[in-house]
Structure 1
Amino acid sequence: MSDVVNITEAAAFQIKEMMKHNGEEGSFLRVAVKGGGCSGLSYGMGFEEEPGEKDSQLEQFEIKILVDNGDADILKGTVIDYKQTMMGGGFTIENPNAIASCGCGSSFKTAKNAGTPENC
């Protein structure tokens, strides 16, 4: 499971800051895939108090991470980073399974899962 999602040290620092700011310390970071976006699939990240029945758990940089077992194949090898630029900062997601993504970079599709594309 540890090779499904990998977070960089920069992303971990930012996630911990967000948890602290939102009073979510001790929560799990949910990394998910949902249908939608121009290319059919999009990423989701958020905080949750408890894992679900279909979740796998891992821990990196003292952050507890949840991934639904149904999303594991789509996310396998994904790296989540945080980059700071002159225009601000943001998370970047590099998924080796994505074969196409939209121009804005927020949606994608894989060879095995095209998702449910929406008009953008």
Structure 2
Amino acid sequence: MNQVVTITEAAAFQIKDMMKQNEEEGSFLRIAVKGGGCSGLSYGMGFEQEKGDDDFLDEQHSIPVLVKKEDAAILNGTKIDFKQSMMGGGFTIDNPNAIASCGCGSSFRTAVNAGTPEEC
């Protein structure tokens, strides 16, 4: 499969900095979808030491990126960026498959996967 998620240069810089601060150099960056949130699905990002049999592996900006095969269709075409503002900085996730999201911006649903919504 081609690249599932695109990581911008700004996001890659922040991820590498986080890897260094948390002594995670040599780890994989896991990008995932999990049930929950106001709209039914939410994003997850974290570091892992091992690749699973059901993972797609991609490398961007020298960062090895893992996405579970079951999450790939939901995340396909997603762009992860890092924006800095006067209030601080944070990752932004632009998923073209999301048809609805809640006000917090971290929860969404797709046309084929509504997830498991929670009370906001």
Band of TM-score, shorter chain: over 0.9
1:116 and 1:82 mapped to 2: Cα distance? 27
Q: Provide the TM-score with structure 2 as the length reference.
A: 0.98
Equivalent position of 1:93 in the other structure: 93
Q: For residues 115 and 102 of structure 1, what CA distance do their matches in structure 2 show?
A: 13
Runs of 5+ unmatched residues, structure 1:
none
Q: Which amino acid aligns with 2:5?
A: V
List alignment gaps of at least 5 residues for structure 2. none
Aligned to 1:64: 64
Give yes or no for contact 2:3–2:58 (8 Å, CA) kept in 1. Answer: no
Matches of 2:2 and 2:45 in 1, distance apart? 17
Aligned residues: 120
Give the % identical residues: 75
**What is the CA RMSD across the aligned residues, in angstroms?**
0.6
Maintained 8 Å contact 2:28/2:65: yes
Partner of 1:11: 11
| Cα displacement string for residues 68-102 of structure 1 (whole angstroms, at most 9, x for unaligned residues) | 00000000000000000000000000000000000
- Find the aligned partners of 1:82 and 1:2 in 2 and give their Cα distance: 23
The structural deviation recorded for 1:3 is 2.9
State the one-letter code of the partner of 1:111: A
SS in 1 for 2:39: coil
- Write the deviation string for residues 4-30 of structure 1: whole angstroms up to 9, x where unpaired: 100000000000000000000010000
